[in-house]
Amino acid sequence: MIHGITNILNIIDLLSDDLKKECSIICGESSIEAVGKYHTNFKGENLSSRITFMTSSTFRGIDIKEQFHLISVANHLRPHTLLSTTNLTQIAGRCRHKCKIYSETIIYNTKGSKEIDLDDYQRALLEDAQSTIELVNNLNKKRNIKIVSLDKMRESLIDNTAVKIGEKFIPITRKNIYGEFVISYLNIDALTEIKYLET
């Protein structure tokens, strides 16, 4: 299980021509064009080739009846590749053969041994989100005239109250269905989970 089409294609590129012929990639629809000739779908109950790569979007809900060697890869520099112990258990559990998988290898790297208190981290995110919401709400108070620059400032505050993960910015505030700015608890929980996986 390797997350990221680019990483998979880089690995295949390192193989001999004979081994390349034995590779296939099972991926989500949005990546089919990128994988080109290596694309395959999961058919029946067996893997489609001797070396089958799968992205995270494809392993859920499939049952593989044959035994296989499982290699899972996670890179802390690419947060979308991080796997929780629950994910790793689910991936290995896709093997429905009575003798289970032949072997399981997990390849990963870490940032180091820096200790982070996850409760403090989550609390800081919640406080930052709440501070931003209060600031935005103060900009909205007692305005008898519409000042475009204040509207832009308010939108900019909300848009820029985010945590950078890899190349993406994950917002910690959002607009609810009533147009009110509120804390994005789901994103804050996800950021805390990512921080946990990074340590």
Q: Report whether 111 contacts 130 (CB < 8 A).
A: no
CA distance 99 to 155: 56
DSSP string, 24-42: EEE--GGGHHHHGGGB---
pLDDT digits (tens, 9 = 90+) for 11-34: 889 989 999 999 988 888 888 888
pTM score over 0.75: no
At which residue do the structure tokens 């929980």 appear? 189
Predicted confidence band at 1 (pLDDT cuts at 50, 70, 90)?
A: very low
Rounded average pLDDT over 37-41: 88
pLDDT digits (tens, 9 = 90+) for 44-62: 788 888 888 887 777 777 8
Q: Quote the pLDDT of residue 191.
A: 92
What percentage of residues in the chain have a pLDDT greater than 90?
16
**Spatial distance between the Cα atoms of 52 and 64, rounded to a whole number of angstroms:** 12
pLDDT of 41 > 50? The answer is yes
Of 18 and 158, the one with more pLDDT: 18
